[in-house]
């Protein structure tokens, strides 16, 4: 089954072609990082307008490829939430137009579910790789979400915990800004932290005993206070490394605990922060069983993951119609 997928929930315009939920035929992404960089964060209005202009060439070249090889499309899939409403609307309306014009079934997908299905995609260059196994404990960590979820089957999610304030990626982005490291913050912190001592400053971990929820705003405030105390030339690498160690410690510990409690067959990481190398390593160290890690390039927003999730929805017969609308606060479970 060949799915044409769209993703425009945040600041990447993305169009992909995915075969049977696992094999990427095409995965185009137009990033808006340079557009938003001067503002130190995403400007929603600018993001929607950029999606409109970036979408057309991506769509044209993907459809040209489809028409050239003559193999039919089976469905059109699109992220309809959660995300920025003006950004989501671009993808949703383009997907509706293509589905209508080509007489194809339309599927609305949850962006967070898409991140999870990056674990089903077979990395380019590999022939195959077994599918993830249920029950699958998933840590979904992005710029806007931090959810710990147990997935017992396709489409069956129970949320065990979520962030009570900042998302993990948001904490990376805010701390990076405090340290003058620019946007997006996660990759910048990881890079600088490689030269730093993660044990130099002990920063607080909000364990929230008895709960799988997260809280990162106290950590962010503690970093702000530390930077103030350190004066005009703080040891940026050590602060970044100590911050990263604190956030990774909590994420990995709670994930490992959930894996034990829920008898996980496997654990999966998902979302932009899943690209973080120390997080990947620490989760692998602490989880007794097998850990699934999407390739780094498929952790951040892309449409291939939406095409993967769509295949399993389609197999279950879940189809949307042309009344599909953007749902900015759509939860995963
Ligand atoms: O999933 P994503 O691309 O977009 C959202 O759905 O939000 O995630 C973006 C987030 C940003 O906050 C970015 O700083 C973070 O993922 N991120 C990272 C890394 N790469 C991206 N955080 C930590 N380490 C990384 N290597
Ligand atoms: Zn995302």
Give the tens place of pLDDT for each residue, 299-308.
999 999 999 9
Q: What is the CATH number of the domain that holds 69?
A: 3.30.420.40
Q: Do 113 and 81 touch, CB atoms closer than 8 A?
A: no
Neighbours of ion ligand 2 (CB under 5 A): 142, 301
Shared-domain flag, residues 208 and 141: yes
**What are the tokens at 309?**
């999730």
0.95 cut: is pTM over it? yes
pLDDT digits (tens, 9 = 90+) for 152-187: 999 999 999 999 999 999 999 999 999 999 999 999
Q: Is the CB of 8 inside a 6 Å radius of any atom of ligand 1?
A: no
Ligand 2 center–CA 263 separation, angstroms: 27
- Closest atom of ligand 1 relative to the 168 alpha carbon: 12
Shared-domain flag, residues 81 and 165: no
Shared-domain flag, residues 309 and 224: no
Distances (CA, A) of 34 to 27, 38, 300: 20, 8, 16
In a domain, 333, yes or no: no
Shared-domain flag, residues 115 and 193: no
How far is it, in rounded angstroms, from Cα 263 to Cα 257? 10
The share of the chain scoring above pLDDT 70, in percent, equals: 100
Task: Tell me which residue of 298, 247, 244, 251 sits closest to 270, measured CA to CA.
Answer: 298
Shared-domain flag, residues 140 and 282: yes
- Closest atom of ligand 1 relative to the 12 alpha carbon: 3
What's the whole-number mean pLDDT along residues 238-261?
98
Buried b (16+ CB within 10 A) or exposed e, 207-238: eeeeebbbbbeebbebbeebbeeeeeebebbb
Spell out the alpha helix ranges (H) of 3-79. Answer: 33-36, 44-69
The residue count of the chain comes to 333
Mean pLDDT of the chain: 96
Q: Is the CB of 7 inside a 6 Å radius of any atom of ligand 1?
A: no
Q: Is the CB of 300 inside a 6 Å radius of any atom of ligand 1?
A: yes
In a domain, 327, yes or no: no
Per DSSP, 27 falls in state E
In a domain, 70, yes or no: yes
Rg (C-alpha) for the chain, rounded Å, is 20
Task: Determine the structural domain holding residue 101 and report its residue range.
Answer: 2-121+298-315
- Closest atom of ligand 1 relative to the 115 alpha carbon: 1
333 falls in which pLDDT band (50, 70, 90)? confident
In a domain, 325, yes or no: no
């Amino acid at each position: 089954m060949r799915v044409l997928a769209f993703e425009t929930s945040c600041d990447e315009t993305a169009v992909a072609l995915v075969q049977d939920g696992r094999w990427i035929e095409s995965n185009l992404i137009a990033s808006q990082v340079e557009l938003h960089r001067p503002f130190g964060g995403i400007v929603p209005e600018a993001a929607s307008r950029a999606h409109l202009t970036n979408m057309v060439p991506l769509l044209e070249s993907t459809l040209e490829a489809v028409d050239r090889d003559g193999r039919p499309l089976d469905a059109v899939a699109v992220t309809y939430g959660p995300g920025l409403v003006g950004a989501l609307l671009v993808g949703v309306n383009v997907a509706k137009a293509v589905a209508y014009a080509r007489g194809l079934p339309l599927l609305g997908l949850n962006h967070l579910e898409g991140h999870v299905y990056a674990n089903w995609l077979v990395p380019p260059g590999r022939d195959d790789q077994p599918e993830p196994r249920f029950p699958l404990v998933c840590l979904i960590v992005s710029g806007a979400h931090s959810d710990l979820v147990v997935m017992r089957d396709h489409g069956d999610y129970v949320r065990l915990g979520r962030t009570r304030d900042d998302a993990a990626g948001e904490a990376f982005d805010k701390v990076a800004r405090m340290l003058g490291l620019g946007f997006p913050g996660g990759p910048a912190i990881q890079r600088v932290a490689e030269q730093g001592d993660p044990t130099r400053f002990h920063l607080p971990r909000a364990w929230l005993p008895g709960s799988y929820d997260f809280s990162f705003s106290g950590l962010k405030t503690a970093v702000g206070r530390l930077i103030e105390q350190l004066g005009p030339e703080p040891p940026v690498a050590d602060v970044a490394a100590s911050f990263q160690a604190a956030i990774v410690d909590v994420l990995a510990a709670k994930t490992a605990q959930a894996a034990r409690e829920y008898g996980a067959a496997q654990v999966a990481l998902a979302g932009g922060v899943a690209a973080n190398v120390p997080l990947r390593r620490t989760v692998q160290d602490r989880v007794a069983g097998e850990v699934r890690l999407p390739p780094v390039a498929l952790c951040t927003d892309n449409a291939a993951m939406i095409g993967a999730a769509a295949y399993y929805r389609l197999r279950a017969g879940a189809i949307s119609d042309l009344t599909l609308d953007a749902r900015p606060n759509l939860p995963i479970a």
